[in-house]
Chain A
Amino acid sequence: MATQHSRSAARLMMAPAVVLLLGWMLVPLIMTLMFSFKKYLPLRGGDLGWVGFENYVRFVSSSAFWPSVVATLTIVGGVLLITVVFGVLLAILLNQPMWGQGVVRILVIAPFFVMPTVSALVWKNMFMDPVNGLLAHLWKFFGATPIEWLSQASLPSIVMIVSWQWLPFATLILLTAIQSLDSEQLEAAEMDGAPPLKRFGYITLPHLGRAITVVVLIQTIFLLAVFAEIFVTTGGAFGTRTLTYLIFQRVLESQNVGLGSAGGVYAIILANIVAIFLMRAVGKNLDA
Protein backbone atom coordinates (compact mmCIF):
# COMPACT_ATOMS: atom_id res chain seq x y z
CA MET A 1 0.00 0.00 0.00
CA ALA A 2 2.88 2.32 0.75
CA THR A 3 3.90 3.56 -2.63
CA GLN A 4 6.80 5.88 -3.21
CA HIS A 5 4.29 8.61 -3.82
CA SER A 6 2.42 8.15 -0.58
CA ARG A 7 5.66 7.87 1.32
CA SER A 8 6.81 11.30 0.29
CA ALA A 9 3.33 12.67 0.83
CA ALA A 10 3.46 11.20 4.30
CA ARG A 11 6.75 12.91 5.03
CA LEU A 12 5.29 16.15 3.84
CA MET A 13 2.31 15.84 6.10
CA MET A 14 4.38 14.91 9.09
CA ALA A 15 6.64 17.87 8.49
CA PRO A 16 4.65 20.65 10.18
CA ALA A 17 4.26 18.75 13.45
CA VAL A 18 7.84 17.54 13.46
CA VAL A 19 9.31 20.91 12.57
CA LEU A 20 7.22 22.75 15.13
CA LEU A 21 8.08 20.33 17.89
CA LEU A 22 11.70 20.31 16.89
CA GLY A 23 11.74 24.08 17.20
CA TRP A 24 9.83 24.00 20.45
CA MET A 25 12.33 21.53 21.81
CA LEU A 26 15.56 22.80 20.34
CA VAL A 27 15.25 26.53 20.95
CA PRO A 28 14.66 26.25 24.70
CA LEU A 29 17.04 23.32 24.99
CA ILE A 30 19.89 25.20 23.36
CA MET A 31 19.16 28.28 25.44
CA THR A 32 19.04 26.20 28.61
CA LEU A 33 22.35 24.58 27.71
CA MET A 34 23.90 27.96 26.97
CA PHE A 35 22.69 29.59 30.19
CA SER A 36 23.82 26.58 32.22
CA PHE A 37 27.44 27.40 31.37
CA LYS A 38 27.03 31.05 32.27
CA LYS A 39 26.82 33.13 35.36
CA TYR A 40 23.45 34.64 34.62
CA LEU A 41 21.90 36.72 37.41
CA PRO A 42 19.02 38.93 36.19
CA LEU A 43 19.07 41.06 39.34
CA ARG A 44 22.80 41.71 39.02
CA GLY A 45 22.87 42.84 35.43
CA GLY A 46 22.12 39.59 33.59
CA ASP A 47 24.85 37.82 31.66
CA LEU A 48 28.12 37.87 33.62
CA GLY A 49 30.12 35.58 31.37
CA TRP A 50 31.05 31.93 30.96
CA VAL A 51 31.82 29.85 34.04
CA GLY A 52 32.34 26.35 32.66
CA PHE A 53 30.81 23.56 34.70
CA GLU A 54 30.56 25.60 37.89
CA ASN A 55 26.75 25.65 37.87
CA TYR A 56 26.57 21.90 37.32
CA VAL A 57 28.91 21.20 40.21
CA ARG A 58 27.14 23.64 42.49
CA PHE A 59 23.68 22.34 41.71
CA VAL A 60 24.54 18.73 42.30
CA SER A 61 26.65 19.35 45.39
CA SER A 62 23.92 21.32 47.13
CA SER A 63 22.45 19.46 50.08
CA ALA A 64 19.03 19.88 48.49
CA PHE A 65 19.81 17.92 45.32
CA TRP A 66 19.52 14.23 46.23
CA PRO A 67 16.54 14.71 48.55
CA SER A 68 14.80 16.45 45.66
CA VAL A 69 15.41 13.53 43.32
CA VAL A 70 14.06 11.17 45.96
CA ALA A 71 11.03 13.39 46.54
CA THR A 72 10.33 13.49 42.79
CA LEU A 73 10.50 9.73 42.43
CA THR A 74 8.41 9.21 45.58
CA ILE A 75 5.65 11.45 44.28
CA VAL A 76 5.67 9.93 40.79
CA GLY A 77 5.83 6.38 42.14
CA GLY A 78 3.27 6.94 44.87
CA VAL A 79 0.73 8.56 42.60
CA LEU A 80 1.19 5.93 39.90
CA LEU A 81 0.70 3.13 42.40
CA ILE A 82 -2.42 4.64 43.91
CA THR A 83 -4.05 5.68 40.66
CA VAL A 84 -3.39 2.36 38.92
CA VAL A 85 -4.53 0.15 41.80
CA PHE A 86 -7.60 2.18 42.67
CA GLY A 87 -8.22 2.91 39.01
CA VAL A 88 -8.45 -0.81 38.22
CA LEU A 89 -10.75 -1.46 41.19
CA LEU A 90 -12.96 1.52 40.36
CA ALA A 91 -13.12 0.57 36.70
CA ILE A 92 -14.23 -2.95 37.61
CA LEU A 93 -16.83 -1.59 40.01
CA LEU A 94 -18.15 0.95 37.50
CA ASN A 95 -18.46 -1.78 34.89
CA GLN A 96 -20.91 -3.71 37.07
CA PRO A 97 -24.63 -3.30 36.50
CA MET A 98 -26.08 -0.67 38.82
CA TRP A 99 -28.55 2.14 39.02
CA GLY A 100 -27.38 5.59 38.02
CA GLN A 101 -24.16 4.48 36.35
CA GLY A 102 -23.91 7.67 34.30
CA VAL A 103 -24.17 9.93 37.32
CA VAL A 104 -21.61 7.96 39.31
CA ARG A 105 -19.24 8.12 36.38
CA ILE A 106 -19.59 11.88 36.30
CA LEU A 107 -18.91 12.12 40.05
CA VAL A 108 -15.77 10.04 39.69
CA ILE A 109 -14.24 11.94 36.77
CA ALA A 110 -15.06 15.42 38.09
CA PRO A 111 -11.70 16.03 39.89
CA PHE A 112 -9.95 15.85 36.54
CA PHE A 113 -11.62 19.10 35.50
CA VAL A 114 -10.37 21.06 38.49
CA MET A 115 -7.33 23.30 38.02
CA PRO A 116 -4.33 22.06 40.03
CA THR A 117 -4.08 25.40 41.83
CA VAL A 118 -7.71 25.27 42.88
CA SER A 119 -7.57 21.71 44.08
CA ALA A 120 -4.41 22.40 46.07
CA LEU A 121 -6.03 25.45 47.69
CA VAL A 122 -9.17 23.51 48.55
CA TRP A 123 -7.31 20.58 50.04
CA LYS A 124 -4.91 22.74 52.01
CA ASN A 125 -7.37 25.21 53.47
CA MET A 126 -10.58 23.30 53.82
CA PHE A 127 -9.43 19.75 54.44
CA MET A 128 -5.87 19.52 55.72
CA ASP A 129 -5.74 22.54 58.00
CA PRO A 130 -4.91 21.08 61.43
CA VAL A 131 -7.40 23.32 63.24
CA ASN A 132 -10.15 24.36 60.88
CA GLY A 133 -9.87 21.60 58.29
CA LEU A 134 -12.64 19.06 57.81
CA LEU A 135 -10.24 16.16 58.36
CA ALA A 136 -9.23 17.64 61.70
CA HIS A 137 -12.90 17.83 62.68
CA LEU A 138 -13.37 14.24 61.59
CA TRP A 139 -10.42 13.08 63.68
CA LYS A 140 -11.67 15.02 66.70
CA PHE A 141 -15.13 13.55 66.22
CA PHE A 142 -13.62 10.11 66.71
CA GLY A 143 -11.59 11.32 69.65
CA ALA A 144 -8.24 11.24 67.88
CA THR A 145 -5.61 13.96 67.73
CA PRO A 146 -5.81 15.66 64.33
CA ILE A 147 -2.91 14.95 62.00
CA GLU A 148 -0.81 17.92 60.93
CA TRP A 149 -1.04 16.80 57.36
CA LEU A 150 1.19 19.20 55.53
CA SER A 151 4.05 19.17 58.01
CA GLN A 152 4.06 15.72 59.57
CA ALA A 153 2.78 13.75 56.60
CA SER A 154 3.80 16.17 53.89
CA LEU A 155 4.77 13.81 51.09
CA PRO A 156 1.81 11.46 51.59
CA SER A 157 -0.46 14.52 51.63
CA ILE A 158 0.85 15.74 48.31
CA VAL A 159 0.64 12.25 46.85
CA MET A 160 -2.95 12.16 48.04
CA ILE A 161 -3.87 15.49 46.44
CA VAL A 162 -2.23 14.64 43.14
CA SER A 163 -3.75 11.15 43.15
CA TRP A 164 -7.17 12.65 43.64
CA GLN A 165 -6.62 14.71 40.50
CA TRP A 166 -5.31 11.86 38.37
CA LEU A 167 -7.45 8.95 39.57
CA PRO A 168 -10.26 9.97 37.18
CA PHE A 169 -7.91 9.84 34.20
CA ALA A 170 -6.68 6.35 35.09
CA THR A 171 -10.20 5.16 35.82
CA LEU A 172 -11.50 6.45 32.50
CA ILE A 173 -8.88 4.73 30.40
CA LEU A 174 -9.09 1.51 32.36
CA LEU A 175 -12.88 1.56 32.22
CA THR A 176 -12.81 1.89 28.44
CA ALA A 177 -10.47 -1.05 28.29
CA ILE A 178 -12.58 -3.19 30.60
CA GLN A 179 -15.67 -2.50 28.57
CA SER A 180 -13.97 -4.10 25.61
CA LEU A 181 -13.30 -7.28 27.58
CA ASP A 182 -15.14 -10.27 26.23
CA SER A 183 -17.70 -11.02 28.93
CA GLU A 184 -18.33 -14.51 27.62
CA GLN A 185 -14.79 -15.50 28.41
CA LEU A 186 -15.26 -14.37 31.99
CA GLU A 187 -18.54 -16.17 32.30
CA ALA A 188 -17.08 -19.35 30.89
CA ALA A 189 -14.35 -19.18 33.51
CA GLU A 190 -16.96 -18.62 36.18
CA MET A 191 -18.89 -21.67 34.98
CA ASP A 192 -15.72 -23.70 35.23
CA GLY A 193 -15.58 -22.73 38.87
CA ALA A 194 -12.66 -20.34 38.76
CA PRO A 195 -12.76 -18.14 41.87
CA PRO A 196 -13.10 -14.35 41.33
CA LEU A 197 -9.48 -13.65 42.24
CA LYS A 198 -8.22 -16.13 39.68
CA ARG A 199 -10.53 -14.75 37.02
CA PHE A 200 -9.16 -11.30 37.77
CA GLY A 201 -5.56 -12.45 37.73
CA TYR A 202 -5.72 -14.58 34.59
CA ILE A 203 -8.23 -12.78 32.41
CA THR A 204 -8.94 -9.19 33.47
CA LEU A 205 -5.47 -8.04 34.45
CA PRO A 206 -3.65 -9.28 31.33
CA HIS A 207 -6.35 -7.67 29.23
CA LEU A 208 -5.69 -4.36 31.00
CA GLY A 209 -1.94 -4.51 30.39
CA ARG A 210 -1.92 -2.06 27.49
CA ALA A 211 -4.25 0.36 29.22
CA ILE A 212 -2.09 0.36 32.35
CA THR A 213 0.94 1.05 30.18
CA VAL A 214 -0.75 4.05 28.67
CA VAL A 215 -1.83 5.37 32.08
CA VAL A 216 1.68 5.00 33.47
CA LEU A 217 3.32 6.65 30.48
CA ILE A 218 1.03 9.66 30.17
CA GLN A 219 0.82 10.27 33.90
CA THR A 220 4.58 10.05 34.37
CA ILE A 221 5.06 12.88 31.90
CA PHE A 222 2.68 15.09 33.84
CA LEU A 223 3.75 13.95 37.31
CA LEU A 224 7.41 14.75 36.76
CA ALA A 225 6.29 18.35 36.29
CA VAL A 226 4.01 18.61 39.35
CA PHE A 227 4.37 22.15 40.62
CA ALA A 228 1.22 24.04 41.64
CA GLU A 229 0.29 21.47 44.28
CA ILE A 230 3.64 22.00 46.05
CA PHE A 231 3.79 25.75 45.51
CA VAL A 232 0.39 26.23 47.14
CA THR A 233 0.59 23.72 49.99
CA THR A 234 4.09 23.48 51.47
CA GLY A 235 6.20 25.78 49.31
CA GLY A 236 8.79 23.01 49.15
CA ALA A 237 9.19 22.66 52.92
CA PHE A 238 9.12 19.39 54.88
CA GLY A 239 10.88 17.32 52.27
CA THR A 240 8.45 18.03 49.44
CA ARG A 241 10.93 19.88 47.27
CA THR A 242 10.99 18.04 43.96
CA LEU A 243 13.56 18.59 41.26
CA THR A 244 11.13 20.80 39.35
CA TYR A 245 10.50 22.82 42.49
CA LEU A 246 14.20 23.13 43.25
CA ILE A 247 14.75 24.55 39.77
CA PHE A 248 11.90 26.98 40.35
CA GLN A 249 13.58 28.13 43.56
CA ARG A 250 16.89 28.64 41.80
CA VAL A 251 15.46 30.51 38.83
CA LEU A 252 12.70 32.61 40.36
CA GLU A 253 13.31 32.83 44.10
CA SER A 254 17.09 33.12 43.99
CA GLN A 255 17.06 34.66 40.50
CA ASN A 256 20.02 32.55 39.46
CA VAL A 257 19.19 31.53 35.90
CA GLY A 258 22.53 29.83 35.24
CA LEU A 259 22.22 27.56 38.25
CA GLY A 260 18.59 26.84 37.49
CA SER A 261 19.43 25.99 33.88
CA ALA A 262 22.02 23.48 35.02
CA GLY A 263 19.25 22.01 37.17
CA GLY A 264 17.05 21.93 34.09
CA VAL A 265 19.64 19.84 32.29
CA TYR A 266 19.72 17.41 35.21
CA ALA A 267 15.93 17.27 35.13
CA ILE A 268 15.99 16.35 31.45
CA ILE A 269 18.50 13.61 32.21
CA LEU A 270 16.35 12.29 35.04
CA ALA A 271 13.25 12.39 32.84
CA ASN A 272 15.04 10.42 30.17
CA ILE A 273 16.28 7.84 32.64
CA VAL A 274 12.72 7.40 33.85
CA ALA A 275 11.53 7.26 30.24
CA ILE A 276 14.07 4.61 29.24
CA PHE A 277 13.21 2.60 32.31
CA LEU A 278 9.52 2.86 31.45
CA MET A 279 10.09 1.88 27.85
CA ARG A 280 12.03 -1.17 28.93
CA ALA A 281 9.43 -2.16 31.45
CA VAL A 282 6.27 -1.46 29.55
CA GLY A 283 7.23 -0.31 26.07
CA LYS A 284 6.64 -3.71 24.46
CA ASN A 285 3.02 -3.35 25.35
CA LEU A 286 2.81 -0.24 23.25
CA ASP A 287 3.21 -1.97 19.93
CA ALA A 288 3.58 1.29 18.10
Chain B
Amino acid sequence: MARAVTQQRKIINTAAAWGIGLLIFFPILWTILTSFKTEAQAIADPPIFLAFDWTLENYAVVMERSNYMRFLWNSVIIAGGSTLLGILVAVPAAWSMAFVPSKRTKDILLWMLSTKMLPAVGVLYPIYLIFIKLGILDTRTGLVIVLMLMNLPIIVWMLYTYFREIPGEILEAARMDGATLKEEILYVLTPMAVPGIASTLLLNFILAWNEAFWTLNLTAVNAAPLTAFIASYSSPEGLFFAKLSAASTMAIAPILILGWFSQKQLVSGLTFGAVK
Protein backbone atom coordinates (compact mmCIF):
# COMPACT_ATOMS: atom_id res chain seq x y z
CA MET B 1 0.00 0.00 0.00
CA ALA B 2 1.38 3.34 -0.98
CA ARG B 3 -0.54 5.30 1.55
CA ALA B 4 -2.28 4.52 4.81
CA VAL B 5 -5.97 5.24 4.84
CA THR B 6 -6.84 7.70 7.50
CA GLN B 7 -8.74 6.42 10.48
CA GLN B 8 -11.40 9.02 9.91
CA ARG B 9 -12.14 7.85 6.42
CA LYS B 10 -12.43 4.30 7.61
CA ILE B 11 -14.98 5.31 10.22
CA ILE B 12 -17.09 7.12 7.64
CA ASN B 13 -16.92 4.15 5.27
CA THR B 14 -17.92 1.77 8.01
CA ALA B 15 -20.86 3.89 9.12
CA ALA B 16 -22.14 4.39 5.59
CA ALA B 17 -21.78 0.75 4.60
CA TRP B 18 -23.44 -0.55 7.75
CA GLY B 19 -26.25 1.96 7.43
CA ILE B 20 -26.98 0.96 3.86
CA GLY B 21 -26.48 -2.73 4.58
CA LEU B 22 -28.98 -2.66 7.42
CA LEU B 23 -31.44 -0.68 5.33
CA ILE B 24 -31.29 -3.28 2.57
CA PHE B 25 -31.55 -6.12 5.03
CA PHE B 26 -34.34 -4.52 7.03
CA PRO B 27 -37.34 -6.10 5.21
CA ILE B 28 -35.94 -9.53 5.96
CA LEU B 29 -35.19 -8.62 9.55
CA TRP B 30 -38.70 -7.25 9.96
CA THR B 31 -40.18 -10.47 8.58
CA ILE B 32 -38.16 -12.52 11.04
CA LEU B 33 -39.19 -10.27 13.94
CA THR B 34 -42.84 -10.39 12.92
CA SER B 35 -42.74 -14.18 12.93
CA PHE B 36 -42.25 -14.06 16.69
CA LYS B 37 -45.22 -11.77 17.35
CA THR B 38 -48.88 -12.56 17.90
CA GLU B 39 -51.22 -11.69 15.05
CA ALA B 40 -52.53 -8.67 16.95
CA GLN B 41 -49.02 -7.38 17.65
CA ALA B 42 -48.06 -7.87 14.03
CA ILE B 43 -50.46 -5.13 12.94
CA ALA B 44 -50.15 -3.01 16.08
CA ASP B 45 -50.31 0.75 15.61
CA PRO B 46 -47.69 2.14 16.18
CA PRO B 47 -45.56 -0.83 15.13
CA ILE B 48 -43.61 -2.61 17.84
CA PHE B 49 -39.97 -3.13 17.06
CA LEU B 50 -38.57 -5.38 19.77
CA ALA B 51 -40.63 -4.89 22.91
CA PHE B 52 -43.26 -7.53 22.27
CA ASP B 53 -43.94 -10.87 23.91
CA TRP B 54 -41.73 -13.16 21.91
CA THR B 55 -43.64 -16.29 20.99
CA LEU B 56 -42.92 -19.45 19.05
CA GLU B 57 -46.61 -20.09 18.54
CA ASN B 58 -46.60 -19.22 14.84
CA TYR B 59 -43.88 -21.74 14.17
CA ALA B 60 -45.78 -24.36 16.15
CA VAL B 61 -48.92 -23.68 14.11
CA VAL B 62 -47.06 -23.89 10.83
CA MET B 63 -45.26 -27.09 11.81
CA GLU B 64 -48.53 -28.68 12.86
CA ARG B 65 -50.42 -27.63 9.77
CA SER B 66 -47.90 -28.46 7.08
CA ASN B 67 -45.41 -31.19 6.49
CA TYR B 68 -42.55 -28.70 6.34
CA MET B 69 -39.85 -31.33 6.09
CA ARG B 70 -41.37 -32.81 2.96
CA PHE B 71 -41.55 -29.42 1.23
CA LEU B 72 -37.99 -28.68 2.30
CA TRP B 73 -36.72 -32.04 1.12
CA ASN B 74 -38.43 -31.61 -2.25
CA SER B 75 -36.86 -28.18 -2.64
CA VAL B 76 -33.43 -29.57 -1.86
CA ILE B 77 -33.81 -32.47 -4.29
CA ILE B 78 -35.28 -30.40 -7.10
CA ALA B 79 -32.89 -27.47 -6.81
CA GLY B 80 -29.88 -29.69 -6.16
CA GLY B 81 -30.75 -32.30 -8.76
CA SER B 82 -31.44 -29.82 -11.53
CA THR B 83 -28.23 -27.94 -10.79
CA LEU B 84 -26.02 -31.03 -10.72
CA LEU B 85 -27.58 -32.47 -13.85
CA GLY B 86 -27.22 -29.11 -15.54
CA ILE B 87 -23.52 -28.98 -14.72
CA LEU B 88 -23.00 -32.50 -16.04
CA VAL B 89 -24.51 -31.50 -19.36
CA ALA B 90 -22.89 -28.08 -19.44
CA VAL B 91 -19.25 -28.91 -18.62
CA PRO B 92 -18.49 -30.66 -21.91
CA ALA B 93 -20.36 -28.03 -23.90
CA ALA B 94 -18.62 -25.17 -22.16
CA TRP B 95 -15.28 -26.92 -22.54
CA SER B 96 -15.62 -27.29 -26.27
CA MET B 97 -16.83 -23.72 -26.70
CA ALA B 98 -13.95 -22.34 -24.72
CA PHE B 99 -11.12 -24.39 -26.15
CA VAL B 100 -12.28 -25.29 -29.62
CA PRO B 101 -14.12 -22.11 -30.58
CA SER B 102 -15.65 -21.83 -34.00
CA LYS B 103 -17.22 -18.95 -35.85
CA ARG B 104 -20.60 -19.91 -34.52
CA THR B 105 -19.66 -20.16 -30.83
CA LYS B 106 -20.90 -16.69 -29.98
CA ASP B 107 -24.13 -17.24 -31.90
CA ILE B 108 -24.79 -20.53 -30.16
CA LEU B 109 -24.18 -18.94 -26.79
CA LEU B 110 -26.55 -16.06 -27.44
CA TRP B 111 -29.11 -18.42 -28.90
CA MET B 112 -28.98 -20.49 -25.73
CA LEU B 113 -29.66 -17.39 -23.66
CA SER B 114 -32.53 -16.40 -25.91
CA THR B 115 -34.33 -19.67 -25.18
CA LYS B 116 -34.95 -18.24 -21.74
CA MET B 117 -37.11 -15.51 -23.20
CA LEU B 118 -40.14 -17.62 -24.12
CA PRO B 119 -42.87 -16.63 -21.63
CA ALA B 120 -43.51 -19.69 -19.48
CA VAL B 121 -47.25 -19.23 -19.01
CA GLY B 122 -47.88 -19.37 -22.75
CA VAL B 123 -46.73 -22.97 -22.85
CA LEU B 124 -48.34 -24.13 -19.61
CA TYR B 125 -50.99 -26.24 -21.33
CA PRO B 126 -48.61 -27.89 -23.83
CA ILE B 127 -46.07 -28.74 -21.14
CA TYR B 128 -48.81 -29.93 -18.82
CA LEU B 129 -50.13 -32.27 -21.51
CA ILE B 130 -46.64 -33.59 -22.23
CA PHE B 131 -46.11 -34.22 -18.53
CA ILE B 132 -49.36 -36.19 -18.33
CA LYS B 133 -48.36 -38.27 -21.36
CA LEU B 134 -44.97 -39.05 -19.86
CA GLY B 135 -46.50 -39.71 -16.46
CA ILE B 136 -44.17 -37.29 -14.70
CA LEU B 137 -46.74 -34.84 -13.38
CA ASP B 138 -46.13 -34.19 -9.68
CA THR B 139 -42.81 -36.03 -9.69
CA ARG B 140 -39.45 -34.65 -8.68
CA THR B 141 -37.95 -36.13 -11.83
CA GLY B 142 -40.17 -33.96 -13.99
CA LEU B 143 -39.25 -30.79 -12.15
CA VAL B 144 -35.55 -31.61 -12.11
CA ILE B 145 -35.68 -31.86 -15.90
CA VAL B 146 -37.66 -28.66 -16.41
CA LEU B 147 -35.56 -26.56 -14.06
CA MET B 148 -32.36 -28.01 -15.49
CA LEU B 149 -33.43 -26.93 -18.96
CA MET B 150 -34.46 -23.53 -17.69
CA ASN B 151 -31.11 -22.82 -16.10
CA LEU B 152 -28.89 -24.63 -18.59
CA PRO B 153 -28.14 -21.50 -20.67
CA ILE B 154 -26.92 -19.62 -17.61
CA ILE B 155 -24.86 -22.60 -16.46
CA VAL B 156 -23.22 -23.04 -19.86
CA TRP B 157 -22.44 -19.36 -20.05
CA MET B 158 -20.96 -19.13 -16.58
CA LEU B 159 -18.78 -22.20 -17.08
CA TYR B 160 -17.70 -21.02 -20.50
CA THR B 161 -16.41 -17.76 -19.10
CA TYR B 162 -14.37 -19.52 -16.41
CA PHE B 163 -12.90 -22.00 -18.81
CA ARG B 164 -11.81 -19.18 -21.05
CA GLU B 165 -9.75 -17.73 -18.23
CA ILE B 166 -7.70 -20.90 -18.09
CA PRO B 167 -4.63 -20.54 -20.27
CA GLY B 168 -4.63 -22.97 -23.16
CA GLU B 169 -0.90 -23.68 -22.72
CA ILE B 170 -1.54 -25.66 -19.59
CA LEU B 171 -3.88 -27.97 -21.47
CA GLU B 172 -1.44 -28.31 -24.31
CA ALA B 173 1.30 -29.21 -21.86
CA ALA B 174 -0.95 -31.86 -20.41
CA ARG B 175 -1.65 -33.19 -23.87
CA MET B 176 2.05 -33.32 -24.62
CA ASP B 177 2.45 -35.47 -21.54
CA GLY B 178 0.03 -37.89 -23.14
CA ALA B 179 -3.15 -37.05 -21.25
CA THR B 180 -6.33 -38.22 -22.92
CA LEU B 181 -9.26 -35.88 -23.38
CA LYS B 182 -10.99 -37.44 -20.41
CA GLU B 183 -7.95 -37.06 -18.21
CA GLU B 184 -7.47 -33.55 -19.44
CA ILE B 185 -10.95 -32.53 -18.37
CA LEU B 186 -10.93 -34.54 -15.19
CA TYR B 187 -7.47 -33.86 -13.78
CA VAL B 188 -6.33 -30.62 -15.33
CA LEU B 189 -9.33 -28.53 -16.20
CA THR B 190 -11.74 -29.38 -13.42
CA PRO B 191 -9.44 -28.62 -10.47
CA MET B 192 -8.62 -25.27 -11.99
CA ALA B 193 -12.24 -24.45 -12.54
CA VAL B 194 -13.41 -25.45 -9.09
CA PRO B 195 -14.15 -21.91 -7.89
CA GLY B 196 -16.10 -21.25 -11.05
CA ILE B 197 -18.03 -24.49 -10.84
CA ALA B 198 -18.76 -23.87 -7.18
CA SER B 199 -20.26 -20.45 -7.75
CA THR B 200 -22.16 -21.71 -10.78
CA LEU B 201 -23.60 -24.40 -8.55
CA LEU B 202 -24.59 -21.90 -5.92
CA LEU B 203 -26.14 -19.34 -8.23
CA ASN B 204 -28.23 -21.92 -10.04
CA PHE B 205 -29.23 -23.60 -6.83
CA ILE B 206 -30.63 -20.25 -5.69
CA LEU B 207 -32.40 -19.65 -9.00
CA ALA B 208 -33.96 -23.13 -8.94
CA TRP B 209 -34.92 -22.81 -5.29
CA ASN B 210 -36.80 -19.58 -5.97
CA GLU B 211 -38.51 -20.67 -9.20
CA ALA B 212 -42.22 -20.39 -8.55
CA PHE B 213 -44.12 -20.93 -11.77
CA TRP B 214 -43.34 -24.47 -12.83
CA THR B 215 -42.76 -25.74 -9.31
CA LEU B 216 -46.25 -24.57 -8.39
CA ASN B 217 -48.10 -25.59 -11.52
CA LEU B 218 -46.62 -29.03 -12.11
CA THR B 219 -46.92 -30.40 -8.58
CA ALA B 220 -49.64 -31.52 -6.20
CA VAL B 221 -48.48 -33.55 -3.22
CA ASN B 222 -45.43 -35.65 -3.90
CA ALA B 223 -43.10 -33.15 -5.46
CA ALA B 224 -44.37 -29.86 -4.03
CA PRO B 225 -41.45 -27.71 -2.84
CA LEU B 226 -41.33 -24.66 -0.57
CA THR B 227 -42.90 -22.36 -3.15
CA ALA B 228 -46.10 -24.38 -2.78
CA PHE B 229 -45.68 -24.26 0.99
CA ILE B 230 -45.73 -20.45 0.80
CA ALA B 231 -48.82 -20.49 -1.41
CA SER B 232 -50.74 -22.15 1.40
CA TYR B 233 -50.04 -19.25 3.75
CA SER B 234 -50.15 -16.28 1.47
CA SER B 235 -53.59 -14.75 1.94
CA PRO B 236 -56.23 -16.72 3.78
CA GLU B 237 -59.29 -15.18 5.36
CA GLY B 238 -58.45 -13.54 8.64
CA LEU B 239 -55.28 -12.21 10.19
CA PHE B 240 -52.17 -13.90 8.94
CA PHE B 241 -49.12 -11.61 8.92
CA ALA B 242 -47.37 -13.36 11.79
CA LYS B 243 -48.01 -16.85 10.47
CA LEU B 244 -47.05 -15.76 6.97
CA SER B 245 -43.84 -14.32 8.38
CA ALA B 246 -43.07 -17.57 10.16
CA ALA B 247 -43.70 -19.57 6.99
CA SER B 248 -41.63 -17.10 4.96
CA THR B 249 -38.78 -17.31 7.41
CA MET B 250 -38.89 -21.09 7.21
CA ALA B 251 -38.93 -20.98 3.41
CA ILE B 252 -35.96 -18.66 3.04
CA ALA B 253 -33.90 -19.71 6.07
CA PRO B 254 -32.20 -22.74 4.50
CA ILE B 255 -31.10 -20.88 1.40
CA LEU B 256 -30.15 -17.80 3.42
CA ILE B 257 -27.92 -19.88 5.68
CA LEU B 258 -26.37 -21.64 2.72
CA GLY B 259 -25.78 -18.31 1.06
CA TRP B 260 -24.14 -16.82 4.11
CA PHE B 261 -21.75 -19.68 4.56
CA SER B 262 -20.77 -19.64 0.92
CA GLN B 263 -20.89 -15.94 0.17
CA LYS B 264 -17.11 -15.72 -0.20
CA GLN B 265 -17.24 -18.45 -2.79
CA LEU B 266 -20.16 -16.77 -4.53
CA VAL B 267 -18.42 -13.40 -4.62
CA SER B 268 -15.14 -14.70 -5.96
CA GLY B 269 -16.70 -16.81 -8.67
CA LEU B 270 -19.63 -14.73 -9.83
CA THR B 271 -17.88 -12.91 -12.64
CA PHE B 272 -19.58 -14.11 -15.80
CA GLY B 273 -16.28 -13.33 -17.45
CA ALA B 274 -16.66 -9.72 -16.52
CA VAL B 275 -13.22 -9.48 -14.99
CA LYS B 276 -10.23 -9.04 -17.17
Give me the interface of A with B, judged by CB distance under 8 Å: 1-2, 6-7, 9-11, 13-14, 16-18, 20-21, 24-25, 27-29, 31-32, 35, 42, 90, 93-94, 96-119, 121-123, 125-127, 132, 134, 137, 164, 167-168, 172-173, 175-177, 180, 184, 187, 210-211, 213-214, 217-218, 221, 224-225, 227-228, 232, 243-244, 247-248, 251-252, 257, 260-261, 263-264, 267-268, 271-272, 275, 279, 286, 288
Main secondary structure of the interface of A (DSSP, over half): helix
* Known A127-B30, A164-B24; further 18 A-B contacts with Cβ < 8 A: A1-B99, A9-B181, A24-B115, A28-B118, A29-B118, A93-B20, A98-B10, A104-B21, A105-B21, A106-B260, A111-B25, A113-B255, A114-B28, A122-B28, A173-B270, A211-B274, A218-B154, A271-B118
Contact residues in B for A247 (Cβ distance below 8 Å): 119, 121-122
Q: Which B residues touch A11, using CB under 8 A?
A: 96
> Contacts of B27 on A, CB cut-off 8 Å?
111, 119, 122-123, 126-127, 164
User: CA–CA, A25 to B14, complex, Å?
Assistant: 48
B221 within 8 A of A: no
The answer to whether A122 and B31 touch across the interface, beta carbons within 8 angstroms, is: yes
How many Å lie between the Cα of A108 and that of B17 in the bound state?
9
Residues of chain B in range 216-262 having any CB-CB distance to chain A below 8 Å: 226-227, 230-231, 234-235, 241, 244-245, 248, 251-252, 255-256, 259-260
B89 in contact (CB, < 8 A): yes
Among B105, B117, B149, which residue has the most Cβ atoms of chain A within 10 A? B117
Q: Is the CB of A17 within 8 A of B90?
A: yes
What interface size band does chain B fall in?
35 or more
| Known A1-B168, A173-B271; contact A35-B248, beta-carbon cutoff 8 A | no
The 3 closest A-B pairs by CB, nearest first: A264-B122, A10-B96, A13-B92
If A11-B96, A20-B152 touch, whether A118 touches B120 (CB-CB below 8 Å) is: no
Q: Given the complex of chains A and B, what is the CA–CA distance between A281 and B270 in angstroms? A: 23
Partner of B212, one of A94, A117, A218: A117
B274 A107 Cβ-Cβ under 8 A: no
- Interface membership of B5, Cβ < 8 A: yes
Q: Is the CB of A109 within 8 A of B18?
A: no
Say whether B121 contacts A251, CB under 8 Å: yes
Q: CA–CA, A267 to B271, complex, Å?
A: 29
A32-B126 contact in complex given A21-B149, A99-B14, A115-B212, C-beta closer than 8 Å: yes
Known contacts: A21-B112, A21-B152, A176-B275. The answer to whether A252 contacts B121 by CB under 8 A is yes
Q: How far is the CA of A264 from the CA of B188 in the complex (A)?
A: 44
Q: Is the CB of A93 within 8 A of B172?
A: no
Query: A28 and B127: CB pair below 8 A?
Result: yes
Q: Which residues of the other chain, B, contact A210 by a CB distance below 8 angstroms? A: 273-276
How many angstroms from the CA of A113 to the CA of B110 in the assembled complex? 26
**A11 (CB) vs chain B CBs: closest residue:** B96
**14 pairs across A/B with beta carbons < 8 Å?**
A10-B95, A13-B95, A17-B89, A21-B152, A28-B127, A98-B14, A110-B24, A114-B210, A115-B212, A115-B230, A123-B27, A211-B274, A263-B119, A271-B114
**Residues from chain B with Cβ under 8 Å of A134 in the complex:** 30, 47
Bound complex: CA of A114 vs CA of B108, how far in Å? 32
**Which B residues between 81 and 103 are near A, CB-CB below 8 angstroms?**
89-90, 92-93, 95-97, 99-100, 102
Q: Are B46 and A137 in contact, with the CB atoms below 8 A? A: yes
Given A93-B16, A100-B18, answer yes or no on A115-B100 (Cβ-Cβ < 8 Å).
Answer: no
B80 adjacent to chain A (CB < 8 Å): no
Cβ A211 vs Cβ B119 within 8 A: no
Residues of B within 8 Å of A94, CB to CB, are 17
B134 interface contact, C-beta 8 A? no
